[in-house]
C-alpha cells in the first residue's frame, strides 16, 4: 500500500506541474492519491513490523502537512480497533 501511495503521489505531483494537463487529469490524480493514503490510514496493522512501517510512513506524510483531513484521522482511529 505504501508503494501504491508513493506512485499515486508522484503522479499527482506530476499532474500539478504538468502545464499541458487538464484539470480532469489533476482531479483524477488527486483522487487516486487520496484513496491510496486513506487505504494506508485504514489498514489494521497487527504485526510489529506493519505497525512500525505504517507509523513511520504516516509520520513522513504528516510532516509534509498532508495528513490533516478528518477522514484520515477517523480511518486511523478505526484501524486501531482490532477485533480479535
**pLDDT (tens digit, 9 = 90+) per residue, 21-39?**
678 888 999 999 999 999 9
Burial class (CB in 10 A: 0-12, 13-18, 19+), 5: buried
Nearest to 76 by CA among 63, 59, 25: 59
Residue-wise pLDDT tens digits, 43-63: 999 899 999 999 999 999 999
Average pLDDT over the chain, rounded to an integer:
89
Amino acid at each position: 500500500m505504501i508503494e501504491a501511495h508513493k506512485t499515486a503521489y508522484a503522479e499527482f505531483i506530476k499532474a500539478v506541474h504538468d502545464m499541458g494537463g487538464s484539470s480532469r487529469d489533476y482531479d483524477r490524480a488527486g483522487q487516486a492519491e487520496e484513496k491510496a493514503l486513506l487505504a494506508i490510514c485504514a489498514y489494521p496493522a497487527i504485526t510489529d513490523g506493519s505497525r512500525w512501517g505504517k507509523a513511520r510512513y504516516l509520520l513522513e506524510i504528516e510532516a509534509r502537512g498532508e495528513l490533516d483531513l478528518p477522514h484520515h484521522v477517523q480511518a486511523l482511529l478505526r484501524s486501531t480497533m482490532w477485533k480479535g
